[in-house]
């Protein structure tokens, strides 16, 4: 079964705008990761946030984690057309597997 669920399923914005995607999960986790997938390609790791962290930054990416609400958000600032992709969150539950949600499909219009 899926562990993480991303929201929204699809998001369309203009270049330069910020994009926010959310991830909710069901069970306690050790960490949460965000990945990006260009159409039909392998996933690329973006950022990992541990359960004892609340916020993390990497370039134009900002990730927050609220373990009390079992949710995370990924913010992409100043989006570019090249950011067009699907974004997935992955959680490891307690058995160190790595389960993904259904993803958010982001379209950034030039």
Please report, as ranges, the residues that interact with another protein according to CB under 8 A. Answer: 1-2, 30-31, 33, 35, 40-45, 48, 50, 88, 90, 92, 95-103
Shorter beta-carbon distance to another protein: residue 42 or 110:
42
Shorter beta-carbon distance to another protein: residue 68 or 95:
95
Q: How far is the CB of 99 from another protein (least distance, A)?
A: 5
- Which residues contact residue 31 at a Cβ distance below 8 angstroms, ignoring those fewer than 6 apart? 48, 49, 50, 51, 91, 92
Residue whose C-alpha is closest to residue 96's, from 7, 40, 20, 28: 28
Largest CA distance in the chain: 42
Q: How far is the CB of 8 from another protein (least distance, A)?
A: 14
Q: How far is the CB of 80 from another protein (least distance, A)?
A: 22
User: Distance between CA atoms of 92 and 24, rounded to whole angstroms?
Assistant: 13
| 86: its two tokens | 């699907």
Shorter beta-carbon distance to another protein: residue 25 or 35:
35
Q: How far is the CB of 75 from another protein (least distance, A)?
A: 20
User: Distance between CA atoms of 91 and 96, rounded to whole angstroms?
Assistant: 9
Shorter beta-carbon distance to another protein: residue 78 or 98:
98
């Amino acid at each position: 079964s899926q562990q993480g669920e991303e929201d929204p399923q699809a998001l369309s914005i203009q270049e330069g705008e910020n994009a926010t995607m959310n991830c909710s999960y069901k069970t306690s986790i050790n960490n949460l990761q965000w990945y990006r997938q260009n159409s039909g390609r392998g996933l690329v790791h973006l950022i990992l946030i541990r359960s004892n962290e609340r916020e993390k930054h990497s370039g134009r990416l900002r990730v927050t984690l609220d373990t009390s609400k079992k949710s995370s958000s990924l913010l992409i600032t100043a989006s570019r057309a090249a950011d067009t992709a699907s974004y997935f969150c992955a959680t490891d539950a307690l058995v160190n597997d790595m389960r993904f949600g259904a993803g958010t499909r982001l379209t950034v219009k030039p």
